[in-house]
Amino acid sequence: MSTSATFPTTVAPESASSFAHEHFGQADLGHKKRNGCLVRVAEKICRHPGGSLPNKLGNPTNYKAMDELMNRPEVTHASVLASPLRRTQERIQAAQGVVLLLHDTTELDYSGLSIPELGPIGNSHGRGYLCHNTLAVDPERREVLGLASQILHARVPVPAGEGVKAKRERPSRESRLWTRAVQAIGPVPAGVVCVDVADRGADIFEFLAAEQQLGRKALVRASQDRLIFPGHGDGGEKTRLFAYLRSLPAWGKRSKTIFDRAQEVERRANLAVAAAAVTLPPPHIQKGEYEKKPLRLWAVRIWEPQPPSRQKPLEWILLCYEPVTTLEAAWQASSWYECRYMVEELHKAQKTGCEIERLQFETQQALQPMIALL
């Protein structure tokens, strides 16, 4: 489920100044002049977020100050992000109720730049980064609290003939991104309920096991029709996850407005929901790093029993650690997953709003902190 977004071409000066100071006013780049310059650059860009950097900054003097700042060794992706990430953590700590941590990865295409550290993207003919963002959101208000984590990952081509063990232990393995993100965010503050929400890319036994080991709450859309044990017992007959959930009767029905990706329009849908306890045995071939112990989760199915004529029925199958034993809890899991579109809107804002892929820096040193700033 999603909504469309429009992005402003200009922002009022007072709003831009307030935003820049709120997010970057606590930056520590090793000198107060550099700290002040970062805030000023952020303010200029916030006033005119679209277009190339010369368009954003307005005049050659501002551009030169930005360029000198981005090329300082103290100014890195991590040092620029430190202040806004700290602000987000403070807002999470002050939150009342549940906070969703929405995880997603997008590709940033810098194929036109001659930066050797970039990795292959797309069909491997392009070059750039995988940008893994985590957005903190209040699900009750549908309010963004801030960016909780951002990882820039350059793909490393898999060596020819790499074995399962070597791949599992390779630090650059892309499937580690999900676990790296939750580790980067750190422990959940006392008294706050945080739920890591992710799409089908995170349906990895390693990630689900890491969530359990770290004592975190996960809500992941299933992509793998795994062999599972129904219930939370220690044995029984294995069955396929999707077939098992599709055999369950509906617990209840509800009409909702959804964004139909196939039709690219919003429409009303009559949805049904059901849930069950399931146990995931560890895969026979260990492809990640985890303890070979079964995982006891809850699976929720949301589907469209009677879709409109000639349209594919909608279906979501979710895996989570939070018990789902009531109809209310099942719809709550559905509602939390519906918020995931907000991190997709962030990616649209990066690319369409801020035109982040138009950057023309010649070094990774300058490129990465500007990605953080944008």
User: How far are the Cα atoms of 1, 118, 137, 138, 193 from residue 97, in angstroms, in the given order?
Assistant: 23, 40, 11, 8, 7
Confidence bin at 11 (pLDDT 50/70/90): low
Domain residue limits at 308: 216-339
- The residue-averaged pLDDT of 169-198 equals 92
The number of folded domains in the chain is 1
Is the pLDDT assigned to residue 149 strictly greater than 80? yes
Q: Which residue has the higher pLDDT, 91 or 169?
A: 91
Q: Which residue has the higher pLDDT, 255 or 265?
A: 255
- The residue-averaged pLDDT of 292-320 equals 92
Query: Phi and psi of 153, rounded to 5°?
Result: -120, 125
Q: How far apart are CA 136 and CA 86, in angstroms?
A: 12
Residue with tokens 């793998």: 224
Q: Give me 216's structure tokens.
A: 């975190």
Q: Give me 299's structure tokens.
A: 């699976």
Q: Give me 264's structure tokens.
A: 């690219």
CATH of the domain at 258: 3.90.350.10
Mean pLDDT of the residues in the chain = 92
Residue with tokens 């199958």: 317
* 256 lies in some domain: yes
* 301 lies in some domain: yes
The amino acid at 200: R
* 204 lies in some domain: no
Is the pLDDT assigned to residue 163 strictly greater than 80? yes
Q: Give me 332's structure tokens.
A: 């709550």
Q: How far apart are CA 68 and CA 238, in angstroms?
A: 61
* 372 lies in some domain: no
Confidence (pLDDT) at 244: 97
Instruction: Say which range, 25-29, 123-127, 225-229, has the weakest mean pLDDT.
Output: 123-127
- The residue-averaged pLDDT of 157-183 equals 87
Find how far residue 350's CA is from the centre of its chain.
13
pTM, entire model: 0.92
HEC profile for 34-85? HHHHHHHHHHHHHHCCCCCHHHHHCCHHHHHHHHHHHCCCCCCHHHHHHHHH
Confidence bin at 54 (pLDDT 50/70/90): very high
* 220 lies in some domain: yes
Residue-wise pLDDT tens digits, 63-85 = 999 999 999 999 999 999 999 99
* 239 lies in some domain: yes
